């Protein structure tokens, strides 16, 4: 059966017309005011942060203010190429279709097959993590790179694909195998980084790789399907967005927009309420695999969606290991999962659920991390307390526990066990009064200060009556970043404090209501922050996803988070047209900055691509790829 769908675009994007009349000064005053108060109390300029209205109160103080980041900013703009600052180079390291094994066929866009794709680098690289080899070492010239492959764009993958694609089952089969993860061994020498093609570590994880359900939902009645009679064995992962790395050397990958893959009718299904809350099945931005394959057809296999939407833990150091779906961390449209060792050695995970009005979650492990006993750590993510954030206008964050039997999470509301709580985690979070956020993407812990940065990418649906302190703009086109402060560094505490870090948008455009450091340049402001990472000095590196809808390219911006350069974002990297940037990740010594260029040329077609990056070969489509950015002659990136 051939199925036609409209041309493909990023599943994250849903443009809505802008609100040109932001009136939110009263709310802002509350949550930016803390640092102004510090000033009046006589605290020095160094701790003020100087987040302010552009050209506002801090300007007089900013003449001598400077960022600690020394690179020359990349100009704002958009073209077919990738740009880094003068004095830097960007090596294209791994591109879609690249062979990962000695027996893998070379990439040939005219001859794609399931057999070749499962031995080659997948499509639309997202999360990137570098883990030094050997495990536990700090090598910055030898390690494993794990990369997620979030989704596919058939109109850019296959020759002669028309703008409206008619997708056959064999083509969808190739696209299925282009999802999942790649794990590769890398070495750096004077000539740059290279992939070790005959490494025993190299692995493709796909939507059909055998996996196991772990934690409270494992084996539960609702998890039993036609392809998983025991509710424990499961098959593969897809829609993998960002992720995280554990201190014991495993990688977490986040299953996000799983709704697009399913076909069929949910009316009358026992899980219909759950699926409706998930927006499932999706709006046909993709070819639903269920149109061709029964596993994803709800009419045939109605409980399959409950096997997706989890955080999956993968041990890249053991190529034969069975990945585990950690259900204790809840089921939603997971953006990522960052991991922190708490002061008492319990493990804390932070997670955003990336959809308009969804929530920010925290998991605190029951047991403690043991630095010298890896096997004792391997199942830490199966037992612990999941909670969800409520933000008050007075600067307090309350973490509400999502525990069966606690508060409203009882039989009266349809919860019969912790399995129900984690499977229906959005419903549980609704009931405990969590704050509905503007699409939570990355939530990362600053390794130097211990504060937690929450990146909110946008929410164009929010109306003025729904504005609150933590989501202060109606029809939020541009996104914002919030900083959470755990008391005395205790990430398990029931309450934190919070403040706004920046409001994205063009600071010269009053209708945007943007807020940065006063000195942010014409190239230095950003929109739609998405993934982020910290360098070893605690500076924040932010990748964006959405600028193409506003006429310039997405990229990477970096900023100090403390001191006189706080919220002074500076433009470090510019992606080719159509692409977003994902997975920023540093080597331990900060001399290499890895990032993923996802969906270059998005919105165009194989025949008439908006760019042919990175090959620029006639007849070659653009190829999503991971790049390694280094300083010419070596040195700390950003210094
Ligand atoms: Fe796949 Fe939330 O971006
Ligand atoms: Ca995206
Ligand atoms: Ca995004
Ligand atoms: Ca993302």
**List of E strands, 59-133:** 88-95, 125-132
**3-class SS at 108?**
coil
pLDDT at residue 151 is higher than 90: yes
What span, in angstroms and rounded, lies between the C-alpha atoms of 234 and 579? 32
- What is the pLDDT, as a whole number, of residue 27? 55
* Residue 185 Cβ contacting ligand 1 at under 6 Å: no
Going from the Cα of 440 to the center of ligand 3, the distance in angstroms, rounded, reads: 9
pLDDT at residue 580 is higher than 90: yes
* Residue 241 Cβ contacting ligand 1 at under 6 Å: yes
Going from the Cα of 159 to the center of ligand 2, the distance in angstroms, rounded, reads: 24
Q: For the residues 520-539, what does the mean pLDDT come to? A: 97
Q: CB–CB of 454/353 below 8 Å?
A: no
Among all ligands shown, which has an atom nearest to the Cα of 352? Answer: 1
Q: What is the largest CA-CA distance in the chain?
A: 72
Instruction: From the CA of 126, give the closest atom in ligand 1.
Output: 1
What span, in angstroms and rounded, lies between the C-alpha atoms of 77 and 557? 14
Among all ligands shown, which has an atom nearest to the Cα of 285? Answer: 2
* Residue 150 Cβ contacting ligand 1 at under 6 Å: yes
Q: CB–CB of 135/233 below 8 Å?
A: no
Q: For the residues 377-392, what does the mean pLDDT come to? A: 98
Lowest mean pLDDT among 82-96, 238-252, 283-297, 428-442: 283-297
DSSP assignment letter at 329: G
User: Residues for the chain: how many in total?
Assistant: 639
What span, in angstroms and rounded, lies between the C-alpha atoms of 49 and 35? 7
| Residue from 104, 138, 110 nearest 122 by CA | 104
* Residue 256 Cβ contacting ligand 1 at under 6 Å: yes
70 vs 29 pLDDT, higher one: 70
Percent of the chain with pLDDT over 70: 89
What span, in angstroms and rounded, lies between the C-alpha atoms of 431 and 468? 19
* Residue 353 Cβ contacting ligand 1 at under 6 Å: no
Residues around ion ligand 3, judged by CB within 5 A, are: 12, 530, 545
Q: CB–CB of 220/231 below 8 Å?
A: yes
Going from the Cα of 32 to the center of ligand 4, the distance in angstroms, rounded, reads: 26
| Residue from 247, 473, 490 nearest 364 by CA | 490
Q: What is the pLDDT of residues 468-505, one digit of tens each?
A: 999 999 999 999 999 999 999 999 999 999 999 999 99
Cis? peptide before 530, omega within 30° of 0: no
Contacts of 510 (CB under 8 A, 6+ apart): none
> From its phi and psi, is residue 190 left (phi > 0), alpha (psi between -120 and 50) or beta?
alpha
Instruction: From the CA of 335, give the closest atom in ligand 1.
Output: 2
- What is the pLDDT, as a whole number, of residue 6? 39
6 vs 578 pLDDT, higher one: 578
pLDDT at residue 127 is higher than 60: yes
Among all ligands shown, which has an atom nearest to the Cα of 458? Answer: 3
Highest mean pLDDT among 5-19, 64-78, 606-620: 606-620
**pTM: predicted TM-score of the whole model, two decimal places:** 0.92
33 vs 525 pLDDT, higher one: 525
- What is the pLDDT, as a whole number, of residue 169? 83
Q: What is the pLDDT of residues 313-329, one digit of tens each?
A: 999 999 999 999 999 99
Percent of the chain with pLDDT over 90: 86
Instruction: From the CA of 242, give the closest atom in ligand 1.
Output: 1
Going from the Cα of 60 to the center of ligand 2, the distance in angstroms, rounded, reads: 39
Instruction: Give the pLDDT band (50/70/90) at residue 161.
Output: low
- What is the pLDDT, as a whole number, of residue 168? 78
Tell me how crowded residue 577 is: count the other CB atoms within 10 A of its CB: 24
Q: CB–CB of 313/381 below 8 Å?
A: yes
Q: For the residues 458-476, what does the mean pLDDT come to? A: 97
437 vs 159 pLDDT, higher one: 437
Going from the Cα of 161 to the center of ligand 2, the distance in angstroms, rounded, reads: 22
Q: CB–CB of 206/117 below 8 Å?
A: no
Instruction: From the CA of 545, give the closest atom in ligand 1.
Output: 3
Residues around ion ligand 2, judged by CB within 5 A, are: 10, 12, 545
Q: What is the pLDDT of residues 415-457, one digit of tens each?
A: 999 999 999 999 999 999 999 999 999 999 999 999 999 999 9
- For the chain, give the mean pLDDT: 91
Lowest mean pLDDT among 67-81, 165-179, 358-372: 165-179
Q: For the residues 284-308, what does the mean pLDDT come to? A: 92
Going from the Cα of 441 to the center of ligand 1, the distance in angstroms, rounded, reads: 7
């Amino acid at each position: 059966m051939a199925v036609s769908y409209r041309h493909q675009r990023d599943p994250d994007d849903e443009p809505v017309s802008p609100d040109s009349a932001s009136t939110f000064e009263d709310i802002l005053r509350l949550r930016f005011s803390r640092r102004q108060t510090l000033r009046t109390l006589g605290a020095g300029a160094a701790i003020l942060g100087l987040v302010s209205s552009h050209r506002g109160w801090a300007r007089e103080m900013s003449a001598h203010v400077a960022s600690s980041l020394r690179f020359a900013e990349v100009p704002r703009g958009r073209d077919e190429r990738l740009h880094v600052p003068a004095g830097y180079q960007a090596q294209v390291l791994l591109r879609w279709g690249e062979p990962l094994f000695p027996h893998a066929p070379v990439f040939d866009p005219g001859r794609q097959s399931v057999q070749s794709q499962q031995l080659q680098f997948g499509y639309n690289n997202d999360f990137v993590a570098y883990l030094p080899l050997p495990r536990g070492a700090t090598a910055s010239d030898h390690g494993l790179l794990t990369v997620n492959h979030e989704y596919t764009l058939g109109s850019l993958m296959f020759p002669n694909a028309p703008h409206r694609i008619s997708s056959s089952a064999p083509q969808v089969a190739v696209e299925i195998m282009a999802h999942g993860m790649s794990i590769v061994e890398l070495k750096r020498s004077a000539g740059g980084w290279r992939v070790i093609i005959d490494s025993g570590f190299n692995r493709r994880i796909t939507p059909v790789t055998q996996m196991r359900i772990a934690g409270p939902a494992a084996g539960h009645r609702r998890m039993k399907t036609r392809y998983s009679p025991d509710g424990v064995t499961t098959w593969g992962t897809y829609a993998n967005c960002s992720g995280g790395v554990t201190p014991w050397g495993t990688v977490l990958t986040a299953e996000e927009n799983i709704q697009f893959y399913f076909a069929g009718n949910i009316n009358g299904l026992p899980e219909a309420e759950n699926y409706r809350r998930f927006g499932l099945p999706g709006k046909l931005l993709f070819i639903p695999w269920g149109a061709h394959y029964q596993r994803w057809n709800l009419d045939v296999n109605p409980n399959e969606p409950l096997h997706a939407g989890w955080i999956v833990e993968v041990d890249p150091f053991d190529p034969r290991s069975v990945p585990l779906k950690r259900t204790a961390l809840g089921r939603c449209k997971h953006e990522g999962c960052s991991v922190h060792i708490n002061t008492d050695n319990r493990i804390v995970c932070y997670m955003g659920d990336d959809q308009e009005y969804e929530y920010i979650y925290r998991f605190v492990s029951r047991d403690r991390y043991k630095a010298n006993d890896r096997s004792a750590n391997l199942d830490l993510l199966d037992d612990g307390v999941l909670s969800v954030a409520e933000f008050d206008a007075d600067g307090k964050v309350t973490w509400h526990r999502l525990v069966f039997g606690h508060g409203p999470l009882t039989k009266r509301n349809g919860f019969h066990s912790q399995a129900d709580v984690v499977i229906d985690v959005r419903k549980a979070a609704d009931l405990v009064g969590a704050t509905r956020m503007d699409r939570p993407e990355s939530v990362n812990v600053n390794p130097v200060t211990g504060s937690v940065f929450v990146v909110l990418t946008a929410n164009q649906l929010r109306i003025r009556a729904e504005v609150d302190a933590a989501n202060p703009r109606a029809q939020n086109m541009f996104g914002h970043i919030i900083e959470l402060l755990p008391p005395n560094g205790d990430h398990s505490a029931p309450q934190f404090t919070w403040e706004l870090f920046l409001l994205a948008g063009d600071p010269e455009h009053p209708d945007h209501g943007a807020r940065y450091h006063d000195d942010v340049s014409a190239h230095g402001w950003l929109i739609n922050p998405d993934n982020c990472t910290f360098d070893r000095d605690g500076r924040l590196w932010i990748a964006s996803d959405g600028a193409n809808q506003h006429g310039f390219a997405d990229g990477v911006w970096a900023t100090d988070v403390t001191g006189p350069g706080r919220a002074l974002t500076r433009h470090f990297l510019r992606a080719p047209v159509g692409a977003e940037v994902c997975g920023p990740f540093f080597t331990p010594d900060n001399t290499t900055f890895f990032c993923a260029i996802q969906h270059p040329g998005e919105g165009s077609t194989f025949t008439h691509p908006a760019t042919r990056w990175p090959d620029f070969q006639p007849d070659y489509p653009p190829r999503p790829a991971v790049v390694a950015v280094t300083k010419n002659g070596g040195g700390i990136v950003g210094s």
